[in-house]
A and B are shown apart, each in its own frame.
Chain A
Amino acid sequence: DAKTTQPPSMDCAEGRAANLPCNHSTISGNEYVYWYRQIHSQGPQYIIHGLKNNETNEMASLIITEDRKSSTLILPHATLRDTAVYYCIVLSNFGNEKLTFGTGTRLTIIP
């Protein structure tokens, strides 16, 4: 699986958009970008995933650059409940793939 690089921490003001970057320059053609988050001591939570097109769901938007070497997770209106560690994971989508969690980005939403 391709390696990812994320900033260790970020702050964002409540109500503003939180933009979390991820670099994955060695991503291969069949690998997807997945985002999960872990709110303190809870189980990781799936957020969104994409291959090359931008994706949006009720939680977030995912913007993947045209060369697919980086992506940005956007939480459009961050709330205090979005304070968590966010993980960008790159892997194929062929079923039964284990998730390999790095250290992620610790996002703190400031009131």
Chain B
Amino acid sequence: EPEVTQTPSHQVTQMGQEVILRCVPISNHLYFYWYRQILGQKVEFLVSFYNNEISEKSEIFDDQFSVERPDGSNFTLKIRSTKLEDSAMYFCASGTGGSEQYFGPGTRLTVT
């Protein structure tokens, strides 16, 4: 069964460094999403992406964040200058439209 994959599973970085989280969505999906979950808190929407552009972004998704689909298979989330409060699990999801979204296993980002 096809699934969303994410790399790395765990990323440790120092405050102020740039990180890129990578996702490979399910191959025939056209809609892509990033969510995050701070430890012990709710899953929060960050951004949705369709047709090579951002469809919607939350207030969390400020100028420090960017997304890209550099080729036909990868979908990346970049955090330009990480802060301690960016420490969280980051989930990528993909879908064919509607609200049936398929999530990856997540990347645990730890900012020290």
Give A contacts to B, CB under 8 Å: 32, 34, 38, 41-46, 49, 89, 91-103
Number of interface residues of B (CB under 8 A): 26
Give B contacts to A, CB under 8 Å: 4, 31, 33, 35, 42-45, 48, 50, 55-56, 58, 89, 91, 93, 97-106
Please give me the 8 A-B residue pairs with the lowest Cβ-Cβ distance, nearest first.
A43-B103, A95-B97, A101-B43, A98-B45, A97-B99, A93-B98, A43-B91, A44-B103
Known: A41-B89, A42-B106, A44-B91. A97 touches B98 (CB 8 A): yes
Rounded to whole angstroms, the CA-CA distance of A94 and B97 in the bound complex is 7
In the assembled complex, which residues on chain A have CB atoms less than 8 Å from the CB atom of B105?
A: 42-43
- Separation in Å of the B25 CB from the closest CB of chain A? 12
- Separation in Å of the B54 CB from the closest CB of chain A? 11
Give the interface centre of A34, A101, A102 by most chain B CB atoms within 10 Å: A101
